[in-house]
Structure 1
Amino acid sequence: MSYQPIVPFSGFAGWSFLNRTMEKQQAAFSASSEIQRNEDYFREKIGSIKTAEELVGDRRLLSVALGAFGLDDDIDNKFFIRKVLDEGSLDGDALANKLSDKRYFALTQAFGFGDYTTPRTVLSNFPDEILGQYETRQFEIAVGNSDNDMRLALALQRDLPALAAKTNTETTKWYSIIGSSTMSTVFQTALGLPRSVGSLDVDAQVKMYAAKADQLFGSSDPAQFSDGEKLEKLTRDFLLRSQLSTSGSISSGEAALTLLQNASSGSLSLLL
């Protein structure tokens, strides 16, 4: 049985508690029997796996492999996953390069079945590489079982700084944010954008995201979120807006007090 992370409060209060206890909670989760059994099996077997067919044929190995990239729900899509893995990442026409969800590209690139004569599964550090990602992703899922906003906030800390640090253009970074189900949800909420924005042409979406980011954070460039303070403000705005939109989760008086306290301290970029 896995350790269930404790998130006693919703909103920013819950996020603050989770951050204070993160190290201990992650350690307890990683040490739980279910996680350890899966990791022991992966370490024992993965070095002998030389093809995508062999990987998808072992459901337990596949569950860890997919879980490391947040693709747990694809466990029964064996034909599709095998095709992604077999075609690799180096060929521009490979399936992973055509999919907007770049988790598949990361998956096939990590395993290397379609890219190299000898896959990366035989490398001595490969189990540690995959299992580190697996623990992180599974912890996020476990947190999400208590509070999905916390899961989204954790995913944001993992994905956004890496994206922000890339040398891609501002527009390309917005494409990546909009194409990510987790980051787009966080940004839509934090920036106060309507859910209907997702139905617009992607270039129109980019303009809306960029304009709102410039208004609230002082820049339209996602690169600004490589700054820890900007990332913290974005996370706080997301959690507060989400909490305010959830009926009964916070009273109007509590909401007003929270907003006034944060605004007066200069720590809140939220504009209602």
Structure 2
Amino acid sequence: MSFQPVIPFSGAAGWSFLQRTKETQQTAFESSAVLQRDVKYFEEKIGNIDTAEQLVSDRRLLSVALGAYGLNDDINNTYFIQKVLEDGTIDPSALSNKLSDKRYYEMAKDFGFGDLGIPSTQISDFGVKTIDSYKERQFEIAVGNQSQDMRLAMSLERDLSNIINKTTSESGKWFSVMGNPPLRQVFETALGLPTSFGTLDIDKQLGIFQEKSERYFGDQTVDQFKDPDRLDELTRLFLARSQIAQGAAAYSSNSIALTLLQNI
């Protein structure tokens, strides 16, 4: 039986515990025989892959590749993934440029099947980088089996850093946040935005994200979160609001059940 992460508390207390024990818990998790076999297989085989078709035809390789970008659920959508990879990212009409979820864009760019004369699979350290990301995200999934909030909090620093380091405008960075489902969920929860928020015009959403960010953190930019203290504020606000929302939902369900029992 593989190691399962331990998270004894919810909210800020659980987050503090996870931060203290993450290194030890992740090391134990990565010692799993199944994970070790998948990693070894990827290391040995990825250098032989020259095309997107070859990658999607090998389910074990594809599982690790998708897992490195948090796209595990697409393991059976091989035609779609092949199309994303083959189109690349340079052509404005490429599929990855049309998808709101920009994790597909990052995957297509990193693998380079549609953009480069020689794909990144032929670069010596490509497999190592992909495996590191895969192991990190697999641990996050295991954490998510215990607490989805903790999984989202764990991915926050990495995903935000990737966006902050882009050479694009502040508006572009906010659009990247909106195009990353886990990040979007964290921000919507932390800023107290309703579930219907995503149905608004995209430019309207941008304005609200900026206005709410300035109200809660004193700055409307995404770049502010490269400050560890500001990132910690965001994380703790997300966890607090999520915990409150879950408590309210549980209270509401209990109230409904009590009302039904009283009317029997």
Please give the TM-score of this superposition, normalised by the length of structure 1: 0.87
Does residue 195 (structure 1) correspond to residue 195 (structure 2)? The answer is: yes
Please give the TM-score of this superposition, normalised by the length of structure 2: 0.90
Pairwise CA RMSD: 1.7
Q: Percent identity?
A: 53
| Counterpart AA for 1:79 | Y
Alpha-carbon distance, 1:169 to partner: 2.0
| Counterpart AA for 1:71 | L
| Counterpart AA for 2:24 | K
2:20 alignment counterpart:
20
1:225 alignment counterpart:
225
- In structure 2, list runs of 5 or more residues that go unmatched: 252-264
Alignment of 1:45-60 (within 5 A): 45-60=45-60
Farther-moved stretch of structure 1 (28-37 vs 143-152): 28-37
Distance (whole Å) between structure 1 residues aligned to residue 226 and residue 147 of structure 2: 25
1:265 alignment counterpart:
none
Distance (whole Å) between structure 2 residues aligned to residue 78 and residue 91 of structure 1: 21
Contact 2:103 2:180 in 1 (8 A): no
For 1:168, what is the secondary structure of its paired residue? coil
1:148 alignment counterpart:
148
Does residue 67 (structure 1) correspond to residue 75 (structure 2)? The answer is: no
Change (3 A) 1:117 1:211: closer
Alignment of 1:67-216 (within 5 A): 67-216=67-216
Distance (whole Å) between structure 2 residues aligned to residue 212 and residue 94 of structure 1: 33
Contact 1:164 1:223 in 2 (8 A): yes
Change (3 A) 1:250 1:19: farther
Contact 2:87 2:95 in 1 (8 A): yes
Alpha-carbon distance, 1:5 to partner: 1.1
Q: How many residues align?
A: 251
For 2:243, what is the secondary structure of its paired residue? helix
Q: Which runs of 4+ in 1 moved over 3 A?
A: 248-251
Q: Can you list the C-alpha shifts for 1:93-141, whole angstroms capped at 9, x where unaligned?
A: 2211222221111112222222233322122212101101101111111
- In structure 1, list runs of 5 or more residues that go unmatched: 252-272
Q: Can you list the C-alpha shifts for 1:120-177, whole angstroms capped at 9, x where unaligned?
A: 2122212101101101111111100000000110111111133234342222222111
Q: Can you list the C-alpha shifts for 1:188-247, whole angstroms capped at 9, x where unaligned?
A: 111112222111111111111111111111111111111100000000000011111112
Change (3 A) 1:84 1:211: same
Alpha-carbon distance, 1:249 to partner: 9.5
